[in-house]
Amino acid sequence: MVRVRFAPSPTGFLHIGSARTALFNWLHARHTGGRFLLRVEDTDLKRSESRFLDEILEDLRWLGLDWDEEPLFQSRRFDVYRAKAEELVAAGKAYRDGDAVLFRVPPSRTVAYDDIVHGRITVETEAIKDQVLIKSDGSPTYNFSCVVDDAHMGITHILRGDDHISNTPKQILFYEAFGLEPPRFGHMPLILGSDGSKLSKRHGGVSVEEYKKEGFLPEALANYLVLLGWMPRDGREVVPLEEIVRLFDISEMNDVQAKFDLQKLRWINGEYIMKAENSRLLPLLRAQLAAAGQDSAAATDDRLSKVLDLYKVRIKTLSEFPAMTDLFFRDDYALEPEGLKHLEKPESREYLAALADRLATLSAFDHASIETAFRAFVEERGLKAGQVIHPARMAVSGRTKGAGLFEMMEVLGRDRVVERLRRAAHG
Ligand code: GLU
């Protein structure tokens, strides 16, 4: 049975690259009906903090990555590592140097393995110096505790970042020294920014937390992260995680440089927002409104939901919602400078005043009735629709673009529309 693991060090937030590592291990487990395990690599007692671990676990859950079995904590296993190191000392494969224990790297050997992602990799042991297993403070090194635990946990496949590629031959030597079969290894190219440099905040963010705050949906982020390492054969890009679980094949992982493309992620996020239930998005939008300093308490779910219907196809992240929709929740929204010309024409003012009077008398204020009244109004006056639409749109929304004018008017409601048209008419 496939057993894979994700082994975060709780010394910081969950990096987007680590999230991808977790995701691919999880996919392999779920695709094969195997187990996905967690190991907390908290051997650095000074830098490890429980708040980081809490965040990491929360982010994994948020992304939909569930794990099997209780996580293993390395900080509770120092005795085991020391005992394992003693085994190697007793077998003549390691030696003491003061309080430290070092592994004797066999000379003139070639270590070779078939990397799941990169193919055959060979390394000469001449290039590897003796390896510390236990440091003089009694704590294990990463390479040693990693092997002891991967063996203990029965790990069959290890997918991790390319930054570990130089560790793998050393780890393989430890497996040999214990007389154990090493697991299969696969190293994924590091995620770079769109310009090919190290991923940083200016490329969109480095931690999962930042994307969550920006209003990316977890299924969109997970879907996008998968594309940085694997593609379905038919080339589709928007593929829900459940489907990826079915289609994924570890042997199809690619070794292309993974460049983080924020525009693609935003597009994918927009696709998931469009499909998401309003009831699910409303609390998230209220949080975004609050973060933007907008009080949405007075807006009922029903009203917020109607505004959402108008903007669901337009927003790419939930954090775009407050600025785009402030006109529904307040009257002091900004006027787009490019649109002012539509309001400044004297004839526009007259049209708006007359349109306000007309709309005030409508018996129903749904978008179809508004549109019928509007079309009749421009026709009677022999005007082109645009001559009234542009000033009216500016008057009720302060913007030259956005949702459909009549749909916006319906959601704003008659009183607000009439009042805004009259306000613009009076300059
Ligand atoms: N704690 C290591 C890291 O976060 C784990 C590496 C591994 O998967 O072996 O990079």
Can you tell me which atom of ligand 1 is nearest the CA of 160?
8
Ligand 1 midpoint to CA 10 (Å): 11
Nearest to 138 by CA among 53, 80, 185: 80
Query: Does residue 130 sit within a domain?
Result: yes
User: 146: Cβ below 6 Å to ligand 1?
Assistant: yes
User: Does residue 368 share a domain with residue 258?
Assistant: no
Query: Does residue 312 sit within a domain?
Result: no
Query: Does residue 326 sit within a domain?
Result: no
Query: Does residue 394 sit within a domain?
Result: yes
User: 149: Cβ below 6 Å to ligand 1?
Assistant: no
Give residues with Cβ within 8 angstroms of 410, minimum separation 6: 306, 365, 366, 367, 370
User: Does residue 50 share a domain with residue 165?
Assistant: yes
Domain CATH for 365: 1.10.10.350
Q: 21, 41, 72, 75: which to mutate for ligand 1, most atoms within 8 A of CB?
A: 41
Tell me the residue type at 128. Answer: I
Query: Does residue 317 sit within a domain?
Result: no
Ligand 1 midpoint to CA 13 (Å): 14
Domain CATH for 21: 3.40.50.620
User: Does residue 269 share a domain with residue 169?
Assistant: no
From first to last of its 427 residues, the chain has per-residue pLDDT tens of 999 999 999 999 999 999 999 999 999 999 999 999 999 999 999 999 999 999 999 999 999 999 999 999 999 999 999 999 999 999 999 999 999 999 999 999 999 999 999 999 999 999 999 999 999 999 999 999 999 999 999 999 999 999 999 999 999 999 999 999 999 999 999 999 988 888 888 888 899 999 999 999 999 999 999 999 999 999 999 999 999 999 999 999 988 768 999 999 999 999 999 999 999 999 999 999 999 988 888 889 999 999 999 999 999 999 999 999 999 998 999 999 999 999 999 999 999 999 999 999 999 999 999 999 999 999 999 999 999 999 999 999 999 999 999 999 999 999 999 999 999 999 7
Give residues with Cβ within 8 angstroms of 287, minimum separation 6: none
Per the listing, tokens 């890009």 go with: 237
User: 7: Cβ below 6 Å to ligand 1?
Assistant: yes
User: Does residue 163 share a domain with residue 224?
Assistant: no
User: Does residue 336 share a domain with residue 219?
Assistant: no
Give residues with Cβ within 8 angstroms of 350, minimum separation 6: 425
User: E strand or H helix at 424, and its extent?
Assistant: helix 414-425
For 131: left if phi > 0, alpha if psi spans -120 to 50, otherwise beta; the answer is: beta
User: 8: Cβ below 6 Å to ligand 1?
Assistant: yes
Domain that residue 420 falls in: 331-425
User: Does residue 182 share a domain with residue 99?
Assistant: yes
Residue 296 pLDDT: 84
Domain final position from 278, 301, 317:
278
Task: Please answer whether residues 106 and 173 qualify as being in contact, where contact means their C-beta atoms are separated by less than 8 angstroms.
Answer: yes
Strand residue runs (E) in 10-140: 35-40, 72-73, 94-97, 100-103, 110-115, 119-124, 131-134
Q: Whose CA is nearest to atom 6 of ligand 1?
A: 7
Domain CATH for 210: 1.10.1160.10
Q: Which residues are catalytic?
A: 201
349 phi, psi to nearest 5 deg: -60, -40
Q: Work out the number of other CB atoms within 10 angstroms of the CB of residue 402.
A: 19
User: Does residue 99 share a domain with residue 177?
Assistant: yes
User: Does residue 222 share a domain with residue 178?
Assistant: no
The distance of Cα 261 from the centroid of its chain, to the nearest Å, equals 12
Q: Work out the number of other CB atoms within 10 angstroms of the CB of residue 51.
A: 9
User: Does residue 158 share a domain with residue 215?
Assistant: no
Ligand 1 midpoint to CA 7 (Å): 5
Q: 43, 146, 188, 207: which to mutate for ligand 1, most atoms within 8 A of CB?
A: 146
Strand residue runs (E) in 300-398: none
User: Does residue 262 share a domain with residue 210?
Assistant: yes
Into how many domains does the chain fold? 3
**Counting Cβ atoms within 10 Å, is residue 62 exposed (0-12), middle (13-18) or buried (19+)?**
middle
User: Does residue 209 share a domain with residue 84?
Assistant: no
Domain final position from 242, 262, 278:
278
Can you tell me which atom of ligand 1 is nearest the CA of 158?
8
User: 41: Cβ below 6 Å to ligand 1?
Assistant: yes
User: 343: Cβ below 6 Å to ligand 1?
Assistant: no
Ligand 1 midpoint to CA 217 (Å): 26
Can you tell me which atom of ligand 1 is nearest the CA of 18?
4
Residue 203 pLDDT: 86
Q: CA–CA distance from 83 to each of 19, 79, 89, 356, 373 (Å)? A: 33, 6, 10, 85, 86
Distance CA 136, CA 383 (A): 88
Query: Does residue 138 sit within a domain?
Result: yes
Tell me the residue type at 372. Answer: T
Ligand 1 midpoint to CA 8 (Å): 6
User: Does residue 368 share a domain with residue 410?
Assistant: yes
Q: 48, 155, 164: which to mutate for ligand 1, most atoms within 8 A of CB?
A: 164
Q: In the chain, what is the straight-line distance between the N-terminal and C-terminal CA atoms, in Å?
A: 74
Residue 389 pLDDT: 97
Residue 200 pLDDT: 86
Give residues with Cβ within 8 angstroms of 146, minimum separation 6: 7, 41, 167, 171
User: 160: Cβ below 6 Å to ligand 1?
Assistant: yes
Domain final position from 259, 278, 297:
278
Distance CA 192, CA 189 (A): 9
Query: Does residue 194 sit within a domain?
Result: no
Query: Does residue 311 sit within a domain?
Result: no
Residue 342 pLDDT: 94
Q: Is 287 helix (H, G, I), strand (E, B) or coil?
A: helix
